[in-house]
Amino acid sequence: MDELDAEIIRLLQADARRSNRDLARTLGVAPSTCLERVRALTRRGVIRGYHADIDHAALNRSVQAMVSVQVRPLSRAVIDSFKESVSALPEVLSVFVLAGGDDFLLHVAVQDLDHLHAFLLDQLSQRREIAGFRTSVIFQQVRKPVLHRLPDPA
């Protein structure tokens, strides 16, 4: 990945709806060069897709929380089953499988605190494999929409 690829990625992260012509003009390269670079980045799996950034409050999901979960027995079957089932829940935005004291971290979004409480009681506390969970309500989030490639170690 060279400087041109890195700049393409930076520009697409900032605005994935930019046309190839606009990207090429900004980068000072031919549109065919730009298109081939984007296609190569996609083939290599660097660009995995294009997504809309959605305002959760506009979808009546203004309360977000992180839920740390411990499961037992700790086995591949339990981890895979839990990961698959909670991923399908509409309240769950992301599922992280962790090492350390917690086995999972769930990012959830619901309409209000009553719905968060209901989710915790009805969806999580009823599951036999859950040994415990802790919830942290998110007051504010700062996202970093543009990631830069870290330098290779020398």
Where along the chain do the CATH 1.10.10.10 domains lie?
A: 3-43
pLDDT tens by residue, 21-54:
999 999 999 999 999 999 999 999 999 998 888 8
Nearest-CA neighbor of 65 among 101, 17, 103, 119? Answer: 119
pLDDT tens by residue, 123-144:
999 999 999 999 999 999 988 8
Instruction: Enumerate residues 6+ apart whose C-beta is below 8 A from 86.
Output: 92, 95, 104, 106, 123
Q: How far apart are CA 98 and CA 12, in angstroms?
A: 30
Give the model's pLDDT for residue 104: 98
Query: Whole-model pTM?
Result: 0.82
Give the model's pLDDT for residue 51: 85
> Is pLDDT above 80 for 115?
yes
Q: How far apart are CA 17 and CA 52, in angstroms?
A: 10
Where along the chain do the CATH 3.30.70.920 domains lie?
A: 60-138
Higher pLDDT, residue 145 or 82: 82
Average pLDDT, the chain: 93
Give the model's pLDDT for residue 143: 84
For the domain 3-43, what is the CATH code? 1.10.10.10
pLDDT tens by residue, 4-27:
999 999 999 989 999 999 999 999
For the domain 60-138, what is the CATH code? 3.30.70.920
